[in-house]
Structure 1
Amino acid sequence: MKILKTLSKGVSSISNTYEKLSNWGKVLVIFSIIIILYMMYKNNRTEGFTVTRQEFTFKDGTSEIYDDFYVNIYDQLLYSDVKNEFEIDKIINNTKPDEKSVILDIGSATGHHVAALAEKNFKVVGVDQSDTMVKKAKEMYPNLNFLQGDVNNAMIFNPQSFTHILCLYFTIYYIPDKLQFFRNCMKWLIGGGYLVVHLVDKYMFDTIIPAANPLLLLTPQRYAEKRITNSKVTFDDFKYQSEFQLNDQNNTAKFVETFKNKSDDKVFRKQEHQLYMEPYQDILEIAKEAGFIVQSKIDLIRAGYEYQYLFVFVKPN
């Protein structure tokens, strides 16, 4: 937690200095922050990946979206080491795994949560629906255990195989039948086992992706009159834009990503993530229907993710 401790001290020092300012001084500071963040938001740039594309492609569904191109820029767009470190620390403190624990990370992506837990000498396996993502995780962490599998299928793991199951970073929202998901987790857990699920307030969480907002604790979302639902990032040879589209009438959403050649501003790729976003309170009730007990709620605001939470569920003995 060295990063978080250093960050907390810095935030505390800034806060103390801010409180000593006059009202006009405070206004000037806030205005300056807004201007700086706006410029960062408009001109965000990510180096180190080049691409040349001419033909337009449209992709939806896990197998299409998570190809080599997208998997290779996934971390640059979405990864946050501060968030990961915070999550792992809180999960350990709330669920107390030990040398006998066996942990499953559902939606393990490029493998960072699995690696963080393995580094602490826990037995852990990652599972992801995308073959390409599993391949990438194995390239990054060749000594760790990653599997390709669909967690909608209850048969992919034996009953009572795990003491802990994690379902982090919006993974739950890719699953349409959440009752079946919770029942599967109930089957795979031992009695007294823990399920940790990432849930958000779909009306309030910050939809700006990490790459478009490096200073997470000072997000422009807080100062915007209307919720910002798009993000822009510039790579060496192409421009990226995403937009979060909420359909509250049927509890769904789309996360639409567009890629343009930097040279001619021509769109060469567009992809849509289909999300199933019931209010998180409804998802809690679904978990209870499957037999889980809600043990605790972890607020991710200290990691810079406001209106986002980790809920810890327990399977009764």
Structure 2
Amino acid sequence: MNIIKTFNKLSNYGKILVFLSLLLVLILIFKMPKREGYEQLEKYVMKKGDDIYDDFYSEIYDLLVYNDLKNDYEITKIVDKTNVGSDSVFLDVGSGTGHHVKLLADKSLKVTGIDKSAAMVKRAQSNFPDCKFVNGDVLNTDVFNNGSFTHITCMYFSVYYLHDRHQFFNNCMEWLKPGGFLIVHLVNPEKFDPILPPGNPLKIVSAQKYAKERITSTKITFNEFVYTSNFNLKKNDKAIFEEKFKFNNGKVRKQEQVLHMDDLEVIVNEAKDAGFVLRDKINLVHCAYEYQYLYIFARE
């Protein structure tokens, strides 16, 4: 009753502000991703490598890493710099939950996403039913015919999860048409910001700029669990990315991924060894991803 009386005492301007605030809250609630009630039966679960990308992880993946501004910037720059036309045919390697594929499809381009995880492909197909996704391994030469694509994109650290990059680059050379482009996301291993977007308190700028030492950990509190992660760069050109989900019921899920994080020059030379020519480099600092780049290689 007191709430109603207080509301009635407000000026018309005040009532409008209250109404707009409530409307905004409702919009945010309905736009929030809906979880499907995942319940971990075991008290403790440890996942490594490909096993990480199951139904649970595919469900919460976008909550951890999705950034629409970055994705829009990347696709816009790729289209501007790589002779994209009505006859262009794209392959997105490590397509995940499908957002890059969707952005390309929205530009009326032919595009296929491929991911090694069946759960990720299922999630992407659910997100974007009109887009094409394939469950497959890009280290398998036979997964596509020679000369199938004009463009191949390999975004958001996907290249670092490949245990045989030489095979990957050779396959891309075969799958691309003459004059085609390979676009690969690469980072400076020692300087890029490993804090996941929701865990960055500064949001639009890197927290590393104001830290005395490099921050390698992330902590995010969700309704059902607390998420923590840590990026540990080793001396053998490998990095370990550790994740932990501590659920409200006390159960724990841990994950460990190995990234093959050689220096930029090493990976560029691997692409050149496969026959690619380095054409351009897009600096992602302009979308607040400092020391991260899109390298544009061409098959001539």
Is the TM value for this pair above 0.5?
yes
Aligned to 1:261: 247
Residue 178 of structure 1: CA displacement?
1.0
Aligned to 2:219: 232
Amino acid corresponding to residue 285 of structure 2 in structure 1: I
Task: Work out which of the residue numbers 273, 280, 288 in structure 2 matches 1:296.
Answer: 280
8 A contact 2:206–2:290 mirrored in 1 = no
Q: Deviations over 1:118-139 (max 9, x none)?
A: 0010000000000000000000
Matched residue SS, 1:59: strand
Q: Distance in 1 between matches of 2:87 and 2:211?
A: 48
Shift in alpha-carbon separation, 1:230–1:55, aligned structure 2, 3 A: same
8 A contact 1:194–1:313 mirrored in 2 = yes
Task: Work out which of the residue numbers 226, 250, 258 in structure 2 matches 1:274.
Answer: 258
Task: Work out which of the residue numbers 128, 132, 144 in structure 2 matches 1:157.
Answer: 144
Amino acid corresponding to residue 173 of structure 1 in structure 2: Y
Amino acid corresponding to residue 226 of structure 1 in structure 2: E
Residue 267 of structure 1: CA displacement?
5.1
Q: Distance in 2 between matches of 1:47 and 1:159?
A: 39
Unaligned runs of 5+ in 1: 1-45
Residue 261 of structure 1: CA displacement?
2.0
Matched residue SS, 1:195: strand
8 A contact 2:114–2:133 mirrored in 1 = yes
8 A contact 1:52–1:237 mirrored in 2 = no
Task: Work out which of the residue numbers 189, 208, 214 in structure 2 matches 1:221.
Answer: 208
Residue 47 of structure 1: CA displacement?
8.4
What's the % identity of the aligned pairs? 48
8 A contact 2:201–2:207 mirrored in 1 = no
8 A contact 1:216–1:305 mirrored in 2 = no
Task: Work out which of the residue numbers 267, 272, 287 in structure 2 matches 1:283.
Answer: 267
Residue 45 (structure 2) pairs with residue 57 (structure 1): yes
Residue 59 (structure 2) pairs with residue 72 (structure 1): yes
Q: Distance in 2 between matches of 1:216 and 1:210?
A: 7
Task: Work out which of the residue numbers 167, 175, 178 in structure 2 matches 1:188.
Answer: 175
Deviation beyond 6 Å, 4+ runs, structure 1: none
Matched residue SS, 1:218: coil
Residue 193 (structure 2) pairs with residue 209 (structure 1): no
Aligned to 1:34: none
Residue 262 of structure 1: CA displacement?
3.1
Shift in alpha-carbon separation, 1:47–1:185, aligned structure 2, 3 A: closer
Q: Distance in 2 between matches of 1:226 and 1:296?
A: 32
Q: Distance in 2 between matches of 1:139 and 1:51?
A: 17
Q: Distance in 2 between matches of 1:71 and 1:261?
A: 17
Residue 159 (structure 2) pairs with residue 175 (structure 1): no
Larger Rg: 1 or 2? Answer: 2
Unaligned runs of 5+ in 2: 1-31
- For residues 89-108 of structure 1, the aligned pairs below 5 Å read 89-108=76-95
Residue 299 of structure 1: CA displacement?
0.2
Amino acid corresponding to residue 243 of structure 2 in structure 1: E
Matched residue SS, 1:285: helix
- For residues 73-152 of structure 1, the aligned pairs below 5 Å read 73-152=60-139
Q: Deviations over 1:66-92 (max 9, x none)?
A: 111111100000000010000000000
Shift in alpha-carbon separation, 1:96–1:214, aligned structure 2, 3 A: farther
Amino acid corresponding to residue 48 of structure 2 in structure 1: D
TM-score (norm 1): 0.81
8 A contact 2:169–2:274 mirrored in 1 = yes
Amino acid corresponding to residue 260 of structure 2 in structure 1: Y
Question: Aligned Cα RMSD in Å?
Answer: 1.5
Residue 51 of structure 1: CA displacement?
5.6
Residue 218 of structure 1: CA displacement?
2.3
8 A contact 1:48–1:236 mirrored in 2 = no
Q: Which has the higher contact order (CA 8 A, sep 6+)?
A: 1
Residue 141 of structure 1: CA displacement?
0.6
Residue 296 (structure 2) pairs with residue 309 (structure 1): no
8 A contact 1:47–1:235 mirrored in 2 = no
Residue 214 of structure 1: CA displacement?
6.2
Q: How many residues align?
A: 267
8 A contact 1:243–1:255 mirrored in 2 = yes
TM-score (norm 2): 0.86
